């Protein structure tokens, strides 16, 4: 395996991953258009959480956290009702990756160590195997071409012998 091959594969993984994320975002956008209240809920959840966190930091009032939990719970319940009415779940808006282990990054973390995912290892193996096959075919082609040239040279030699 050389670095150029790995770099090319990782670039392909990044493109594949980005496409999956874009498709998921497009699904969510389309659903927002059909259900604008859902987008409002998501915005409210975000802004209310941020403003509450800011207020807690400024005032040190922990009661605001209880208000946040209540408001958040109400909004999440409303959000879940919209999903149920539409026969979908929030998981329907998650990207669908080819590899569920690495989410199309090529790497996984095990025991606080990052290592190559089996899908990337397999792709590297497949590429190396393909390169070996191509090399063997080129070698056979070169031998065949050599034999053809030898046969042609012999024929030319005999033709010249007949003509002379």
Predicted TM-score (pTM) of the model is: 0.67
Q: Token pair 């879940």 is at which residue?
A: 80
Condensed to tens digits (0 to 9), the pLDDT of residues 41-100 reads 999 988 888 887 787 777 777 777 787 788 889 999 999 999 999 999 989 999 999 999
Q: What pLDDT does residue 3 have?
A: 82
Percentage of the chain modeled with pLDDT above 90: 62
Q: What pLDDT does residue 1 have?
A: 59
| Tokens matching residue 131 | 């390169």
Q: What pLDDT does residue 35 have?
A: 92
Q: Token pair 């996984």 is at which residue?
A: 108
Q: What is the mean pLDDT of the chain?
A: 89
Three-state DSSP state, 102: coil
């Amino acid at each position: 395996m050389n670095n150029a091959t790995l770099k090319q594969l990782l670039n392909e993984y990044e493109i594949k991953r980005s496409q999956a994320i874009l498709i998921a975002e497009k699904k969510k956008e389309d659903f927002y258009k059909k259900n604008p209240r859902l987008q409002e809920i998501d915005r409210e959840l975000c802004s209310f959480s941020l403003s509450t966190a800011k207020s807690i930091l400024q005032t040190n009032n922990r009661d605001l956290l209880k208000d946040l939990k209540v408001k958040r719970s109400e909004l999440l319940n409303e959000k879940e009702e919209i999903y149920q009415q539409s026969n979908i779940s929030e998981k329907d808006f998650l990207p669908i990756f080819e590899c569920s282990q690495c989410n199309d990054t090529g790497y996984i973390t095990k025991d606080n160590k990052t290592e190559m995912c089996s899908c990337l290892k397999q792709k590297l193996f497949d590429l190396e195997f393909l390169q070996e096959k191509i090399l063997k075919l080129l070698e056979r082609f070169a031998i065949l071409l050599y034999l053809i040239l030898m046969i042609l040279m012999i024929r030319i030699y005999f033709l010249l012998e007949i003509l002379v």
